[in-house]
């Protein structure tokens, strides 16, 4: 079934048109967000204060840090973790210097001693907020030791483009593409008697709907892999990499520098696509479910919009803007809750963010329902048995003729 | 096996397509006769569980077909008025595809035999996009017959077929009509005469008469006093009263 549906999609005359639409939309997106691409220095503004045009730590800064003992360095690292903002502040810079200098790996015993002392210091920290970040710093520090395989040259790539601040728009473009393709390909059946024959068969409703959704999901997955591969290649040619692109650590990418998962870039690509696929299937599942439950596309749209409106209102109550920071943070934004809980990622989940868990859930819901509102109209065509119940087929209609 | 239709009603926005339609359809070939807009396609689409009804019920051997769902559709073969298929699938692909949709066991159907029965063997591996209207209809017939369903519903299956193919179709239908309910709409009276076990006459969504050809002709003979009546005369008797000589081009 899925093979047939895939063939329908791939051989559809609307496929080139939909790809053209996708290219245009992506082009518009690239144009609008051209300033947010990684610069040749490979560093954002923040790091630019400390780095030269080649992305290397400025000499005076380097010298300053190199004069410090490993002990001081580690203390600074821990302290910077405590007092930094949610992104880790200058912790990233210092840890990078440490990696370049190999200090961290040269003094494991002293590091252990400092960590133990730091743990004791936690007892003296009264406020929960600081305590959490103290723990976080120690945790991340230990992780960083494990990722000493990171290339000195921090390779950048266009991954930033789709995994940075505009990833939501990127997702929306993909969904739009799916709708264009879905509507014109599967919609092709609706007015045709072909759909009637299909729906008159035993498996022509549920199985066919599932096969259509699955084939769409496969196409999306393939497209995601193609786009990400293109990003990697573009990144390779623009910035260069001195290691195998796919097996390099995910932390090799600027956007994921602070990600505390042990992942290769290939792993990240697969995981991000699996998560995206899961999200999309959830959206489509929700759409079909809503349509089925309400037996009415307009009513389902109204409900979805109302739901989304409520969630947006609730999100706005997060005056700190914390949500905006965290959702663009790293790969985790592509991990719907189900997948997130299924991994041991939770073990390293930032304690500070746990308290925002309800907001996180709302955010996920907002994304899902927001996309659902758009996809519902496509579902009307993908699952025609749920709609157009009044549609007539046959020569009849209008004023009866006079017969012969 | 019997399909019982009780007081079936179908309303569209501004039109009542079926108005308290009732009948009983047994095994054999039942032909629906009536002018355009009489409600034949609507009736068949409801029987095929493709169009929801506004009222009334349809049961198969006492069981409501709309509650049976998949169980009912497993016993159903359907051919719409103008069958269309994906142009980039071959005829053989289409049959394999529908065999999967009908959830048929691999050894329960023979695609080559089906293709042969509708004279499409030589075109089996050609893409449907290159098929003529008649070939598409024949492929549609093959799809409807796939899996030898207990109930066959076909909307004008012989329209557009050449005489040879019509003959072949009628032979196939006659052969299949034992132990099956076959419901067909047609405007070709001679087809009805050749294969109908019973005829249902529809007008403005109502069942205005039903019976075998003999019963219908006898009824017209007794009403009109004519000595010889065929099915054309029956049709004209019921539906031709509005036909004026002015309507005929000279």
What are the chain A neighbours of B189 within 8 Å (beta carbons)? Answer: none
Residues A196 and A327 in one domain: yes
Chain B: closest CA distance from residue A5 (Å): 10
* B 32-51 residues inside an 8 A Cβ radius of A: 35-42, 44-45, 48-51
Residues A19 and A65 in one domain: no
For B11, which residue in chain A has the nearest alpha carbon? A390
Distance CA B34, CA B201 (A): 6
Task: Say if residue A374's pLDDT is above 70.
Answer: no
Cross-chain residue pair B102–A203, CB shorter than 8 Å: yes
Chain A: closest CA distance from residue B131 (Å): 15
Q: Write down the domain spans for chain B.
A: 1-75+150-165+175-250, 83-148
User: Among B145, B165, B185, which residue's Cα sits nearest to residue B30?
Assistant: B185
Chain B: closest CA distance from residue A389 (Å): 6
Last-in-domain residue among A113, A146, A179? A146
Buried-state track A57-84, b at ≥16 Cβ within 10 A, e below 16: beeebeeebeebebeebbebbbbbbbeb
Residues A96 and A160 in one domain: no
Task: Say if residue B5's pLDDT is above 50.
Answer: yes
The verdict on A393 touching B (C-beta cutoff 8 Å) is yes
pLDDT of residue B12: 85
Chain A: closest CA distance from residue B105 (Å): 13
The phi, psi pair for A228, rounded to 5°, reads -65, -35
From A100-109, B121-130, B206-215, the region with the lowest mean pLDDT: A100-109
Residue B32 or A209, more confident = B32
pLDDT of residue A178: 63
Instruction: Indicate which of B75, B84, B136 best probes the interface with A, i.e. most A CBs within 10 Å of its own CB.
Output: B84
Task: Say if residue B142's pLDDT is above 90.
Answer: yes
> Does A393 reside within a domain?
no
What are the chain A neighbours of B79 within 8 Å (beta carbons)? Answer: 197
Mean pLDDT score across all residues of chain A: 53
Cβ neighbours for B177, distance < 8 A, ≥ 6 positions apart: B27, B28, B29, B195, B197
> Does A73 reside within a domain?
yes
pLDDT of residue A284: 58
pLDDT band at B81 (very low <50, low <70, confident <90, very high): confident
Task: Say if residue B175's pLDDT is above 80.
Answer: yes
Whether B119 and B134 have beta carbons less than 8 Å apart is answered as no
Last-in-domain residue among A101, A118, A146? A146
What are the chain A neighbours of B80 within 8 Å (beta carbons)? Answer: 193, 196-197, 393
The verdict on A404 touching B (C-beta cutoff 8 Å) is yes
Domain range for A98: 45-146
Task: Say if residue B115's pLDDT is above 60.
Answer: yes
pLDDT of residue B112: 93
pLDDT of residue A41: 37
- Name the residue among B38, B49, B242 with its Cβ closest to that of A396: B38
Task: Say if residue B210's pLDDT is above 70.
Answer: yes
Distance CA B118, CA A387 (A): 34
Report DSSP state, residue B126. S
pLDDT single digits (tens) A163-190: 444 455 555 566 656 655 665 555 555 4
Last-in-domain residue among A121, A146, A171? A146
pLDDT of residue B184: 93
pLDDT of residue A245: 57
Residues A31 and A57 in one domain: no
What are the chain B neighbours of A392 within 8 Å (beta carbons)? Answer: 12, 17, 41-42, 51
> Does A151 reside within a domain?
no
pLDDT band at A56 (very low <50, low <70, confident <90, very high): low
pLDDT single digits (tens) A237-249: 554 544 455 666 6
The verdict on A387 touching B (C-beta cutoff 8 Å) is no
pLDDT of residue A20: 75
Residues A66 and A174 in one domain: no
pLDDT band at A203 (very low <50, low <70, confident <90, very high): confident
Residues A218 and A283 in one domain: yes
Residue B85: both structure tokens together: 């298929």
- Name the residue among B78, B88, B239 with its Cβ closest to that of A11: B88
> Does A395 reside within a domain?
no
Residues A244 and A121 in one domain: no
pLDDT band at B232 (very low <50, low <70, confident <90, very high): confident
Residues A163 and A124 in one domain: no
DSSP letters for A217-256: HHHHHHHHHHHHHHHHHHHHHHH--SS-TTTSBGGGSGGG
What are the chain A neighbours of B88 within 8 Å (beta carbons)? Answer: 7, 11
Helix (H) or strand (E) holding A151: none
Task: Say if residue B155's pLDDT is above 70.
Answer: yes
Residue A99 or A221, more confident = A221
Helix (H) or strand (E) holding A293: helix A265-294
> Does A290 reside within a domain?
yes
Distance CA B146, CA B150 (A): 11
Residue A35 or B130, more confident = B130
Name the one residue in this structure whose structure tokens are 């109204």. Answer: A302
For the segment B16-32, the average pLDDT, to the nearest whole number, is 92
The verdict on A124 touching B (C-beta cutoff 8 Å) is no
What are the chain B neighbours of A404 within 8 Å (beta carbons)? Answer: 35, 235-236, 239-240, 243
pLDDT of residue A290: 59
pLDDT of residue A202: 85
Chain A: closest CA distance from residue B41 (Å): 5
pLDDT single digits (tens) A263-321: 666 666 666 555 555 555 555 555 555 555 655 555 655 665 565 555 555 544 444 44
Task: Say if residue B126's pLDDT is above 90.
Answer: yes
pLDDT single digits (tens) B56-79: 999 999 999 988 888 999 999 999
pLDDT of residue A133: 46
Task: Say if residue B106's pLDDT is above 80.
Answer: yes
Q: What percent of chain A has pLDDT over 90?
A: 0
For the segment A137-166, the average pLDDT, to the nearest whole number, is 41
Cross-chain residue pair A204–B101, CB shorter than 8 Å: yes
User: What residue spans of B110-188 are helical by DSSP H?
Assistant: 111-117, 133-145, 163-176
Label the pairing between strands B2-11 and B16-26. antiparallel
The structural domain count of chain A equals: 2
pLDDT single digits (tens) A379-398: 655 555 554 443 444 444 43
Cross-chain residue pair B37–A396, CB shorter than 8 Å: yes
- Name the residue among B12, B35, B102 with its Cβ closest to that of A201: B102
pLDDT of residue B123: 93
Residue B95 or A326, more confident = B95
Residues A90 and A55 in one domain: yes
From A77-91, A362-376, B57-71, the region with the lowest mean pLDDT: A77-91
Residues A162 and A67 in one domain: no
Residues A126 and A163 in one domain: no
> Domain spanning B1-75+150-165+175-250 has what CATH number?
3.40.50.300
The verdict on B236 touching A (C-beta cutoff 8 Å) is yes
Whether A379 and B21 have beta carbons less than 8 Å apart is answered as no
Cross-chain residue pair A193–B82, CB shorter than 8 Å: yes
From A41-50, A154-163, B154-163, the region with the lowest mean pLDDT: A41-50
Distance CA A362, CA A279 (A): 14
The verdict on A192 touching B (C-beta cutoff 8 Å) is yes
pLDDT band at B235 (very low <50, low <70, confident <90, very high): confident
pLDDT band at A336 (very low <50, low <70, confident <90, very high): very low
pLDDT of residue A315: 47
Q: Which residues on neighbouring strands pair with residue B154, listed in sequence order?
A: B79, B184
Residues A261 and A238 in one domain: yes
């Amino acid at each position: 079934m899925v093979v047939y549906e895939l063939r329908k999609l791939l051989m559809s005359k609307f496929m080139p048109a939909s790809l053209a639409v996708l290219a245009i939309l992506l082009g518009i997106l690239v144009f609008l967000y051209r300033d947010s691409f990684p610069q040749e220095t490979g560093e954002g503004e923040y790091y630019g204060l400390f780095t030269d045009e080649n992305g290397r730590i400025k000499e005076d800064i380097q010298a300053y840090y190199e004069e410090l003992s490993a002990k001081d360095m580690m203390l600074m690292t821990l302290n910077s973790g405590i007092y930094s903002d949610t992104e880790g502040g200058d912790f990233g810079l210092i840890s990078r210097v440490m990696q370049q200098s190999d200090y961290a790996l040269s003094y494991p015993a002293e590091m252990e001693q400092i960590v133990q002392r730091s743990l004791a210091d936690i007892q003296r920290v009264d406020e929960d907020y600081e305590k959490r970040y103290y723990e976080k710093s120690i945790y991340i520090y230990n992780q960083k030791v494990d990722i000493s395989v990171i290339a000195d040259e921090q390779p950048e790539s266009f991954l930033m483009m789709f995994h940075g601040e505009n990833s939501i728009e990127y997702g929306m473009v993909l969904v739009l593409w799916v709708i264009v393709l879905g509507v014109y390909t599967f919609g092709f059946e609706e007015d045709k008697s072909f759909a009637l024959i299909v729906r008159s068969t035993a498996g022509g409703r549920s199985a066919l709907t599932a096969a259509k959704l699955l084939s769409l999901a496969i196409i999306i997955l393939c497209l995601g892999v193609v786009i990400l591969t293109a990003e990697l290649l573009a990144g390779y040619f623009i910035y260069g990499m001195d290691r195998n692109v796919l097996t390099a650590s995910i932390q090799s990418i600027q956007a994921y520098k602070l990600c505390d998962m042990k992942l290769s870039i290939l792993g990240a690509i697969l995981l991000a696509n699996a998560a995206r696929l899961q999200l999309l299937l959830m959206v489509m599942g929700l759409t079909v479910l809503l349509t089925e439950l309400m037996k009415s596309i307009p009513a389902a749209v109204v409900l979805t919009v109302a739901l989304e409106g409520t969630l947006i209102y609730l999100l706005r109550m997060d005056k700190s803007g914390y949500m905006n920071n965290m959702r663009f943070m790293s790969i985790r934004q592509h991990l719907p809750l189900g997948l997130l809980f299924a991994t041991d990622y939770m073990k390293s989940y930032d304690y500070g963010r746990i308290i925002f868990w309800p907001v996180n859930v709302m955010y996920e819901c907002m994304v899902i329902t927001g996309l659902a509102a758009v996809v519902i109209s496509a579902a009307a065509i993908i699952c025609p048995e749920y709609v157009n119940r009044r549609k007539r087929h046959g020569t009849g209609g209008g004023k009866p003729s006079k017969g012969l | 096996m019997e399909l019982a239709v009780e007081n079936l009603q179908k309303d569209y926005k501004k039109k009542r397509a079926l108005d308290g339609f009732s009948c009983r359809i047994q095994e054999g070939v039942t032909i629906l006769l009536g002018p355009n807009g009489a409600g034949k396609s609507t009736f068949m689409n409801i029987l095929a569980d493709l169009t929801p009804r506004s009222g009334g019920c349809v049961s198969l051997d006492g069981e409501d077909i709309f509650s049976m769902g998949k169980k009912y559709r497993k016993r159903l073969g359907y051919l719409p008025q103008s069958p269309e298929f994906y142009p980039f699938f071959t005829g053989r692909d289409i049959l394999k595809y529908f065999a999967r949709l009908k959830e048929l066991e691999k050894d329960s159907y023979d695609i080559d035999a089906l293709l042969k029965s509708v004279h499409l063997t030589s075109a089996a591996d050609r893409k449907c996009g290159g098929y003529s209207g008649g070939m598409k209809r024949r492929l549609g017939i093959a799809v409807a017959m796939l899996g030898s369903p207990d109930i066959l519903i076909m909307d004008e299956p012989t329209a557009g077929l050449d005489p040879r193919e019509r003959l072949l179709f009628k032979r196939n239908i006659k052969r299949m009509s034992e132990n099956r309910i076959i419901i067909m709409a047609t405007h070709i009276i001679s087809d009805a005469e050749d294969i109908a076990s019973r005829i249902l006459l529809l007008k403005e969504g109502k069942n205005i008469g039903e019976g075998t050809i003999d019963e219908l002709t006898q009824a017209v003979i007794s009403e009109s006093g004519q000595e010889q009546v065929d099915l054309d005369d029956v049709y004209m008797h019921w539906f031709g009263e509005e036909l004026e000589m002015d309507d005929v081009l000279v």
